[in-house]
Chain A
Amino acid sequence: MPDKNDNLEQLLGGFLNEAEARRAAADIRLGEEILSEYPAPQPDARLLEEIKTKVSRSLGAAATARRRLYWVRRAVAAAAAVIIIASVLLLWPAPQQSFAGSGDVWDDAAIAGLRAEIDAVLDTMISIETDEYGFDEGADDFAEVELEELEMVATNDDFWKG
């Protein structure tokens, strides 16, 4: 039985005359009493346990996926930065320096710096690959988690409902 304090007679009175509103309110109350007299079956206790387990697993998987995503994003950002820096250096070479006998526009320090950055990015990516950050706590496979997330997005996307 709805426990909201709808003043039925008053609500219905906005559309019906007093006698009609009283009758309609009684119809609604008596109809709802029938629903109370025939309670619906209750969910099985095992079903509730299953749901709780699923929810718990989903919370754990989401946390793992978030941590993975954080590191992957960092690695991608670092790789992108290196590519941009390298592109800039290649497109706008430093002014020719008059090294005798050398036409090379890159000095050793610049090359060493670039190489160090590339190494750092590679290290980070290898660390992620080999799970050195320790975010592979469960048995979840990253691809599986990502797939689950994509599936969730696909099945639960209700943008079309407006």
Chain B
Amino acid sequence: MDNREELDEIIAGCQRRDDEAFSRLVSAYSKRCYGYFYRLSGNAETSDDLLSKLFMRLVEKIGSFKGGSFEKWLFTIASNIFYDHLRHQYRQKRLIEARAKQLMEETPPRRADSEMGDKLQQQLSKLDDDTAELIMLRFYGQLSFKELSELRGEPIGTTLSKVHRGLKRLRELMGGTDA
């Protein structure tokens, strides 16, 4: 959102539990947050679910926003939700591990959206999760390197190095430069 005053007004409305303000917040941030979830999960259904969870979490937590960068606050929550999702997936995987072979035999493997999606999605999946998430946080969260390093609790040099290496690698994978 470009207009800081308008954003402040929306946030104040949300903190008063105003329905209309939340509706404006959803309209203002849904595309960027969806892009963030989609590029990390590569799956439209998962992104739908995570986006919904994000805004429900905002309803609970908006009162705890005390000013500063709203994007940084919002994408910290989005990042937590994404990692919760990964942990849940991991637990589920472990739970069905015993039956995995049997299921594989019964059902032909389903292709993930990412396999059918665009070239960028395919190449992104070749980056390690941590780097891919940093790049998505920077791009969709429009966060500065300082905000990114604060969000990750790591030195700014580390963040710069990870993003630089990740984007350079992505460019190589996309064929934009000699590897």
Tell me whether A59 and B19 are in contact in the complex, defined as CB-CB below 8 angstroms, given that A40-B39, A43-B31 are known contacts. yes
Say whether A27 contacts B168, CB under 8 Å.
Answer: yes
Closest to A5 in B: B144
Query: Could you tell me how many residues of chain A have their Cβ less than 8 Å away from some Cβ of chain B?
Result: 42
State in angstroms the CA–CA spacing of A39 and B34 once bound together. 11
State in angstroms the CA–CA spacing of A24 and B30 once bound together. 31
Contact of B171 among A2, A31, A38, A42 (CB under 8 A): A31
Say whether A47 contacts B171, CB under 8 Å.
Answer: no
Say whether A98 faces chain B, with CB atoms less than 8 Å apart.
Answer: no
Tell me whether A30 and B142 are in contact in the complex, defined as CB-CB below 8 angstroms, given that A48-B26, A59-B22 are known contacts. no
- Chain B interface size band reads 35 or more
Tell me whether A47 and B48 are in contact in the complex, defined as CB-CB below 8 angstroms, given that A4-B144, A31-B170, A31-B171 are known contacts. yes
Say whether A70 faces chain B, with CB atoms less than 8 Å apart.
Answer: no
Tell me whether A2 and B23 are in contact in the complex, defined as CB-CB below 8 angstroms, given that A31-B170, A47-B52 are known contacts. no
Tell me the chain B residues, 10-39 only, with Cβ under 8 Å from chain A. Answer: 17, 19, 22-23, 26-27, 30-31, 34-35, 38-39
State in angstroms the CA–CA spacing of A30 and B138 once bound together. 14
Say whether A91 faces chain B, with CB atoms less than 8 Å apart.
Answer: no
Say whether B7 faces chain A, with CB atoms less than 8 Å apart.
Answer: no
Contacting residues, chain A, for B161 (C-beta < 8 A)? 15
Say whether B171 contacts A56, CB under 8 Å.
Answer: no
State in angstroms the CA–CA spacing of A97 and B148 once bound together. 78
Tell me the chain B residues, 122-176 only, with Cβ under 8 Å from chain A. Answer: 135, 138-140, 142-147, 156-157, 160-161, 163-164, 166-168, 170-171, 174, 176
5 closest A-B pairs by beta carbon, nearest first, are A31-B167, A40-B35, A4-B144, A38-B120, A43-B34
